[in-house]
A and B are shown apart, each in its own frame.
Chain A
Amino acid sequence: MIVPLGHVFLLAGLIFSMGLVCMVAHRNLIMTLVGVEVMMNAAAIVFVAAALRWQLMEGQVFILFILAVAAAEVSVGLALVFSAYRRTGSIDPDTYNILKW
């Protein structure tokens, strides 16, 4: 007797679209990664709501894997961002023009 399932989905959709906007709009690689994290968060909310709706535990198991993948993704992503920063001195992706000649 908590809330309708659709409201949880709408909440997750709002958070996901916010993450999408953050990922696309910002000129900063850190903020791009933050947007991906927000989107994964929204996906986790959908999974836990679906697990409660169908009373199945697989949804919650999947969140564990989402957590692990998010940890791996953000750590490798930050290492790549830092590597790009060391090579070019900027984290603005518009300034990466090494291949241009």
Chain B
Amino acid sequence: MTLYAAIFYLLAIVILTATGLAITRRQPVHAVLYLIVAFLGTAAIFFLLGAPLLAAFVVIVYAGAIMILVLFVIMMLQRSPRELGLLSEWGPATLLGVVFLAVVAAMVFKDPGSRIVLQGAVVKPRDFGHFLFDRYWLAVEIVSVLLLVALVAIIQLGKRMGADGDEAESQLNPVRNSNGGLNPGGIILKSMPRCSRWPRGPLARREQRGIISNGVRGGHQ
């Protein structure tokens, strides 16, 4: 066993342990933190398999950006009241995973091509960039359009959650916070005073315009 093979198996153990711990946590925060470890191990495997630029991208995008985004969203939400733990909930899913894994293992060991030992090679970032923008520039542009579409979708979702969707929300069994507003995630809504401070509904909107004067709700001015 060469040194590279030892490093690979060590990284594989780290990734599998971290992923296994991540998927069994009940708190999503702990799961995401373990998953950051798994992604860092994946970046190291990318580096080992000759893709240093992609290793850097995984550290920056996956472990750095996406997981932190998930953490921020977890901080906005309350905990899910129902927790896992029963065997009847884990059992079918685990059976599915084991069957999938058995099929994968059978296919891998059946194929003689999978015994070929990988030869080390490193793709320089310069060569990678030339190759990417020489042959696949159109795909890069399409991906940039995809990211733009995602951005527009997120802005639209956030806008509808905030200002305009209160009729639809107020009919749907809302969770009210202490202010009487409609916002269960109180942390984010403190930055949006229009949502948290003003009361909801058509009556409240008339009050904002001054049609209903004070006396209905004192102490708000």
Contact = CB atoms under 8 A, between A and B. Distances in A.
B2 A2 contact: yes
Contact of A17 (B22, B77, B100, B121): B100
Contact of B80 (A27, A74, A78): A27
Contacts of B123: 51, 57, 60
Contacts of B160: 83
Interface string B97-114: 110110011001101011
Interface residues of A, number: 73
Nearest to B147: A72
Contacts of A63: 46, 51, 54, 57
Interface string B142-158: 01001101100110011
Interface string A34-70: 1101100100110011011101010011011101111
B117 A6 contact: no
Given A45-B45, A61-B132, A18 B19 contact: yes
B35 A37 contact: yes
Prevailing SS type, chain B contact patch: helix
Nearest to B107: A9
A28 B54 CA distance: 30
Contact of A60 (B23, B104, B119, B128): B128
A69 B83 CA distance: 30
A57 B129 CA distance: 11
A101 B173 CA distance: 14
Nearest to B71: A30
B19 A38 contact: yes
A37 B80 contact: no
Contact of A6 (B74, B108, B157): B108
Prevailing SS type, chain A contact patch: helix
A21 B183 contact: no
Contacts of A86: 161, 169, 182-185
Given A41-B62, A67-B61, A87 B70 contact: no
A98 B15 CA distance: 40
30 contacts: A2-B2, A2-B48, A7-B12, A8-B8, A9-B104, A10-B104, A11-B15, A14-B101, A18-B19, A21-B93, A27-B80, A30-B70, A31-B28, A34-B22, A34-B28, A35-B23, A49-B49, A51-B49, A63-B51, A67-B57, A67-B58, A69-B143, A71-B65, A71-B66, A72-B146, A75-B154, A79-B154, A81-B77, A88-B172, A94-B82
Interface of A: 1-11, 13-22, 24-28, 30-31, 33-35, 37-38, 41, 44-45, 48-49, 51-53, 55, 57, 60-61, 63-65, 67-72, 74-76, 78-83, 85-92, 94, 98
In order of increasing CB-CB distance, the 8 nearest A-B pairs are A6-B114, A89-B175, A13-B104, A22-B23, A25-B93, A72-B150, A17-B97, A24-B93
